[in-house]
Structure 1
């Protein structure tokens, strides 16, 4: 069983790592809710370098010219479809807006991560029987 204790999450932008297939890097993709409504853009990806897996999206919404924007912390399990320039979530815009706020200081705090998974209704990746999501890609 994977435990979070030996897996540190880092922002992909803070590493020299890349996504295996460059066209699968969803940073800067538009994020849509389950009804096709705009949520924002993928600002960054939080990666577990131990297993080389993306665990969370950091989604930026609102604001103007970098002011007043809000960042959300969304488990990759919430992704229902990835297209050439969009990431679709299986949740409503209102659900994402009500999520616990993104706090970069807490990305490796087990309780913070567990609360994020629970809010969206998913088991955390360190729990028994966890299966990494099959991220659907439409070209």
Structure 2
């Protein structure tokens, strides 16, 4: 059985796509690790161009006034809950600090996505039996 074309992820801000409702757009929300420590802010969302589902959060941290900010990708699978101002994930600050950094040249490379998912301990979203996460703990 052939796997769907999952090699093309696009940044939501670079597309004509929108989030269904403004209250569901998690961009610019703070990201907190599983102990509640600040990780950074959701700077963008990487969306599967075929299935139109968010696959990764692009999280920016550090810097001053946006200068010198580091970016990393965090799989949506890591989200444990969402509030009106924060996104909580099931990873530690230390683990995220060791994650591969954002590389704009690799933004459309399936191997890169696979290695990021592997780093965080998740199966690829293109693997048979993968189930897209639901977020029942969304609080406004």
Q: Distance in 2 between matches of 1:117 and 1:72?
A: 12
Counterpart in the other structure of 2:138: 137
SS at match of 2:5: helix
Aligned-residue Cα RMSD (Å) equals 1.5
Q: CA deviation at 1:21?
A: 2.1
Counterpart in the other structure of 2:97: 97
Q: CA deviation at 1:42?
A: 0.3
Q: Distance in 2 between matches of 1:4 and 1:90?
A: 28
Counterpart in the other structure of 2:68: 68
Distance 1:42 1:6, change over 3 A: closer
TM-score, structure 1 normalization: 0.93
Q: Distance in 2 between matches of 1:2 and 1:88?
A: 34
> What does the per-residue CA deviation read over 1:75-114, in whole Å, with 9 as the maximum and x for residues that have no partner?
1001111101100010111111110111122122121111
8 A contact 1:61–1:69 mirrored in 2: yes
Counterpart in the other structure of 1:33: 33
Q: CA deviation at 1:4?
A: 5.7
The count of corresponding residues between Structure 1 and Structure 2 is 139
